Amino acid sequence: MKIEGAPQVRTGYRKSAASATPSKTFGQVLEAKTQDRYVPSAPPPRTEAEFSLAERTYGCVTVSNAAHAKLKQLAELNAQADYTGMSPDEIYAEIWNRYDEAFDGNMIAIRAYIAGPAEWTVINNQFCDEITRHIYNPAIIAARKEGLELDGRPYTEWTDAEMDALDDSSILKACKTVNNALMKVLGYDGMSFEKREAAIREKYAGKNTTLDFLNMQSELDLSGVLNHKMGKDQVRTYRAMLNNQFERAFNPNYYMIVGHEKSSFMTADQWYRVANQPFDTAQFAAAMKDNLHRVSGHNGWTEDYVKMMEGFFDHFITGAVDDSLDQLLGETKE
């Protein structure tokens, strides 16, 4: 059974590799463009059925009819799926490709969910439920069984501390299994974080739409590049500020614009009106810096922390290189 209107599922992993010759960064491609391009212009009218309201909402999230129908079909496929004899990598790839084809190649942005229409949260949740059921949970069970067999004692003889340690190690192994499968789907398995970043920059060099930028940020996040470069706490700040600026720029009903009572999440219609518009990274980064300074006092951020975050904005959004960033990172990662 295939998703109606979707291409056939791919059978192999998507591979990507860094070019030996440095190419223009995402920001450099747009360097000469000075007009404000990330604020959406008057959109053409959209009358496609896929952007109408769905018959059902998930909590407070409105889901388009098209997404609702696809999710239902994907759930049916999942109920019929037989992954007997398949490795975790193969299962992950099959589920990923199925969703990626159904949702127009947007799974990278959907899975990272830094920004985009609210219905992407519903899609991501259903995808993660399948990954948890077919890969994560079996991996935990296998890791616990292996730990018990290696120890040799009956589980009833284990202390609470030993049980907790086994559970923790089993969870870590399961998370690694899932992450390794994701890296193979993305094409970054076996690559250092530096090579991953280079490959991502090469992939998106010359692409300049809102969706291109979001996909680039999503791959930097999913591949572990952001976490490796920034650390977990700074990644949380970076993602939150990216999301905030996307909402400010593209959601006319954002709560900071219209207030909480009139606010609503971005719909599929609103997102796809701006997804393919040209995107100005320099202006976007400048707006994020303004917001960074505006909220730094409230959050208790030091001057060094603010400078460090500004360096991350320059490095990952506009492609600029700030020599002082490495020094700041060296001081904060000790």
CA atoms within 13 Å, Cβ hemisphere of 28: 13
> Would you state the pLDDT for residue 47?
47
CA atoms within 13 Å, Cβ hemisphere of 135: 26
* Mean of the per-residue pLDDT values of the chain: 83
Mean pLDDT of 206-235: 95
Measured CA distances, 334 to 178, 231, 234, 327 (Å): 29, 11, 15, 11
114 DSSP assignment: S
Structure-token pair, residue 314? 């320059």
> Would you state the pLDDT for residue 254?
80
For residue 228, count other CB atoms closer than 10 A to its CB: 15
CA angle 19, 317, 109 (to 5 degrees): 80
* CB burial readout 40-49, b (16+ within 10 A) else e: eeeeeeeeee
Beta bridge partners of 64: 53
d(CA 115, CA 109): 8
Task: Compute φ and ψ for 51, nearest 5 degrees.
Answer: -105, 10
For residue 324, count other CB atoms closer than 10 A to its CB: 11
- Whose tokens are 């089993």? That residue is 170
Tell me if 83 sits within 8 A of 93, measured CB to CB. no
Contacts of 117 (CB under 8 A, 6+ apart): 265, 266, 267, 268, 270, 271, 272
Structure-token pair, residue 125? 């949740």
- Nearest 10 degrees: Cα torsion 92, 94, 95, 101: 130
Mean pLDDT of 127-145: 97
Q: Give residue 52's pLDDT band: very low, low, confident or very high (50, 70, 90).
A: low
- Whose tokens are 């690559």? That residue is 191
- The predicted-structure confidence for 180-198, as pLDDT tens digits, reads as follows 999 999 999 999 999 999 9
d(CA 106, CA 104): 6
Residue type, 229: K
3-state secondary structure 31-46: CCCCCCCCCCCCCCCC
- The predicted-structure confidence for 246-303, as pLDDT tens digits, reads as follows 999 888 878 777 778 887 888 888 898 999 999 999 999 999 999 999 999 999 999 9
